[in-house]
Structure 1
Amino acid sequence: MVRGLLCVALLSVTVTAHAETWPDKEWAKAPPLSGPAVDALNAYAFPARDDTHRQGIRTDALLVIRDGAVVYERYAEPTTASTPHLTWSVSKSLMATVLGVAYGEKRFKLTDPVARFYPPMKQHPTVSMADLLHWASGLDWQEDYEFAPLKSSVVAMLYTRGRADMAEFTAGMDAASAPGRVFRYSSGDSNLLSAALKGMLGHKAYMSYPWDALFKPLGIHNATWETDADETFVASSYAYLTARDLARVGLLMARDGRWGDQQQLLPEDWVAFNRKPFDPYKAGQDEAVPGGHWWLNREVQGAARPWPDAPADTFAALGHWGQALYVMPDEHLVIVRYGDDRDGSYRHNELLKRVLAAVQP
């Protein structure tokens, strides 16, 4: 009998330690982190800036949510808690999350050809929605930025030949391989997903859909998502959210698509698809392992995890110049990091290692 009472007491302590707190209008706040490990985190994330030469790590915002409550939050001017920050390619994972709502509404299947929803893709009739979500359309795409602008498909899409209609520009690419066979990171694939969503919904419903389907249910009221001239959301690059609002998306994903006590906003099988490695991916092709438009900290082909000091279940939305939304379900952690790192010195693993050290009791 004593042993039974002890087990019940221990269970009660465990449940209390990881009670599901949900943000209302504001996030709940836990006692802030302190101690040498927090000092070490601050030293890495917020070193003295050199804005003249744009060298070194420049963190604009760092937010840590544990068990649904804020345990660490710091900003560097001009960014504040109310500043919607450019997320760059974190936008890709946001579009995947919006599509998850549409998937739950049975508007499409992963096996559907993209051309069903976006007619310009009829010249690539076997490319499926899953292929785009895996960055495996097979289109001949060059995702190069500052160092190869003349050869860069993404620079041409965002700033020159393709900027008026980014999906149409991408659909006009030649095929380099069969769909679904090769991982080839492509901002164009992400913008084709955005155009496919517009085809599913119709223009009028599409223009408010990210807000109606995702942002408003999560309590996000200050998001901006730019469109191209064809009024297609630039899913590759141009969503703006505050750190606190982006963390809401992370909490949704950490809890397998549930929001609040009863609402299953994303189907569980959609979240499982997002978090499943793309099988044809070859180790070392990118800074993390691709899933369904999210990035995974998984071992593939015998290679070590990309972020060895973080748990294997860690997954993330990642963007240019150091934007990141990290989710650690088993650790009950959601981390948002915004930055402006121009020299490539920022390391995901180093930040995650220091955050994990700082949150240890």
Structure 2
Amino acid sequence: MPIPSLRTLLPGAALALSLCSFAASAAQTWPDADWARGPAPSGAAVKAFEDYAFPQRDDATRKGVRTDAVVVIRDGKLIYERYAGPTKAETPHLAWSMSKSIMASVLGVAFGEGRFQIDDPVATHFAPFASHPDVSMRHLLNWASGLAWEEDYEYAPLKSSVVAMLYTRGRDDMAGFAASFPLDAVPGTRFRYSSGDSNVLAASLKQMVGEQAYADYPWTALFDPLGIRSAVWERDASGTFVGSSYAYMSARDLARIGLLMERGGRWKDRQLLPQAWMQFVLTPFPRYRAAKGEEDEAVPGGQWWLNRTLAGARTPWPSAPETTFAALGHWGQAMYVLPDQRLVIVRYADDRDGTYRHDDFLKRALAAFAAPEVKP
């Protein structure tokens, strides 16, 4: 099955195209069993970064910035790592909603294998969605299914769709639970962040690859080629990966997915994620508008988050380049990919309040870890 052209998928996506255009270089460094080490940065900028990212940890009240791990990759080499709390270099840390971006990368491999098209009806790959025939894979990937979903967490658990899905009446078949919701918007016309959409994607993958291959597919398709050895991914009682929330891996291993993305979907001599897929997931959902008071929230792409300017607004993270994108999760999980700086930064955390700010972190990280500019 041919891969759709970039023009068909994403008309006018010039900036995202630039992220996927690169010259293969024999000099590029890639990790093997372990990361090669680069020069470790030091000095006042690193201290300022650590003062922000690793303040004295308050485990009694769980207040303030509570970083569990930071791993920094520059030019394919590990240049910085630090751990706190119970987390160690080998710890498979819960990714929370970074799982969504991991699943998007698994789906990208399936897309490259011709197992689905972006605009396929979801019902083609997940029968319970037959009651929503107008919802496409594109809509799910953009969190724009139109389902009447409420993504509230501990602050409003009684009306929360996601709490019911993960912990109570929906936990045995999470995608089937999401499919039972009615639509309250025309698919593709409204962004509404939904872990239900993400779990339907995970269930759709099962039909694409078949029950027998499904249990190992994230490993055979993505983790094994990248050399990821620490990954654990929980499944619900129906056997579907909890693609919204329950992937675990070490910070060093998660950084391998970041490097794959930073290098345009290529891993060594293999284009693991097609450029058409990269183009799609790194393009903003065109109907997204930040709600009042949420202007510093990243812009949704295809299960990834983008530092993009829309409708004349400033970028969500003004201290970082507009080409920056990220996987983000509950309680401060983040993997930032900065292609222009050839940087991947993984942060695991246990933030329980609103103290942490992406832009404050990125400002200090760039000062500490970006390579000096080479002047002509």
Residue 324 of structure 1 contacts residue 338 of structure 1 at CA under 8 Å; is this kept in 2?
yes
Kindly provide the amino acid, as one letter, of the partner of residue 295 in structure 1.
Answer: W
- Partner of residue 299, structure 1: 309
**Aligned match of 2:281 in 246, 262, 274?**
274
Kindly provide the amino acid, as one letter, of the partner of residue 300 in structure 1.
Answer: L
The whole-number CA distance in structure 1 between the counterparts of 2:174 and 2:351 is 26
The whole-number CA distance in structure 2 between the counterparts of 1:227 and 1:158 is 11
The whole-number CA distance in structure 2 between the counterparts of 1:35 and 1:83 is 28
Alignment of 1:162-177 (within 5 A): 162-177=170-185
The whole-number CA distance in structure 2 between the counterparts of 1:24 and 1:334 is 17
1:331 and 2:338 are equivalent in the alignment: no
Q: Shift in Å at residue 78 of structure 1?
A: 1.2
Query: In structure 2, the residue corresponding to 1:304 is in which secondary structure?
Result: coil
The whole-number CA distance in structure 2 between the counterparts of 1:310 and 1:19 is 27
**Which has the higher Rg, Structure 1 or Structure 2?**
1
Query: In structure 1, the residue corresponding to 2:286 is in which secondary structure?
Result: coil
The whole-number CA distance in structure 2 between the counterparts of 1:196 and 1:359 is 39
Query: In structure 2, the residue corresponding to 1:349 is in which secondary structure?
Result: helix
The whole-number CA distance in structure 1 between the counterparts of 2:210 and 2:256 is 27
- Partner of residue 263, structure 1: 270
- Partner of residue 368, structure 2: 358
| 1:286-336 Cα distance to aligned partner (Å, 9 max, x none) | 521000110000000111100000000000000000001110001100000
Kindly provide the amino acid, as one letter, of the partner of residue 320 in structure 1.
Answer: H
Residue 64 of structure 1 contacts residue 71 of structure 1 at CA under 8 Å; is this kept in 2?
yes
Aligned length: 345
1:206 and 2:214 are equivalent in the alignment: yes
Alignment of 1:25-174 (within 5 A): 25-174=33-182
Q: Shift in Å at residue 274 of structure 1?
A: 0.8
Q: Shift in Å at residue 44 of structure 1?
A: 0.3
| 1:197-236 Cα distance to aligned partner (Å, 9 max, x none) | 0011111111100000000000001100000000100000
Structure 2: which 5+ runs fail to align?
1-22
The whole-number CA distance in structure 2 between the counterparts of 1:244 and 1:107 is 30
Kindly provide the amino acid, as one letter, of the partner of residue 31 in structure 1.
Answer: P
Q: Shift in Å at residue 284 of structure 1?
A: 3.7
Alignment of 1:213-228 (within 5 A): 213-228=221-236
Query: In structure 2, the residue corresponding to 1:330 is in which secondary structure?
Result: helix
- Partner of residue 250, structure 1: 258
Identity %: 64
Query: In structure 1, the residue corresponding to 2:340 is in which secondary structure?
Result: coil
- Partner of residue 345, structure 1: 355
The whole-number CA distance in structure 2 between the counterparts of 1:302 and 1:144 is 29
Residue 18 of structure 1 contacts residue 67 of structure 1 at CA under 8 Å; is this kept in 2?
no
The whole-number CA distance in structure 2 between the counterparts of 1:218 and 1:70 is 15
Q: Shift in Å at residue 283 of structure 1?
A: 2.5
- Partner of residue 183, structure 1: 191
- Partner of residue 235, structure 1: 243
Q: Shift in Å at residue 31 of structure 1?
A: 1.4
The whole-number CA distance in structure 2 between the counterparts of 1:272 and 1:245 is 24
Question: Aligned-pair RMSD on alpha carbons?
Answer: 1.3
The whole-number CA distance in structure 2 between the counterparts of 1:263 and 1:201 is 21
1:321 and 2:328 are equivalent in the alignment: no
The whole-number CA distance in structure 2 between the counterparts of 1:66 and 1:19 is 14
Query: In structure 2, the residue corresponding to 1:42 is in which secondary structure?
Result: helix
**After the TM superposition, which parts of structure 1 deviate over 6 Å for at least 4 consecutive aligned residues?**
none
The whole-number CA distance in structure 2 between the counterparts of 1:288 and 1:207 is 32
Kindly provide the amino acid, as one letter, of the partner of residue 108 in structure 1.
Answer: F
Query: In structure 2, the residue corresponding to 1:150 is in which secondary structure?
Result: helix
Residue 19 of structure 1 contacts residue 67 of structure 1 at CA under 8 Å; is this kept in 2?
no
The whole-number CA distance in structure 2 between the counterparts of 1:18 and 1:72 is 24
| 1:152-203 Cα distance to aligned partner (Å, 9 max, x none) | 0000000001000000000000101011110000000000000100011111
The whole-number CA distance in structure 2 between the counterparts of 1:336 and 1:18 is 26
Instruction: Sort the Cα spacing of 1:79 and 1:18 in 2 relative to 1 into closer, same or farther, 3 A.
Output: farther
- Partner of residue 322, structure 2: 312
Q: Shift in Å at residue 18 of structure 1?
A: 11
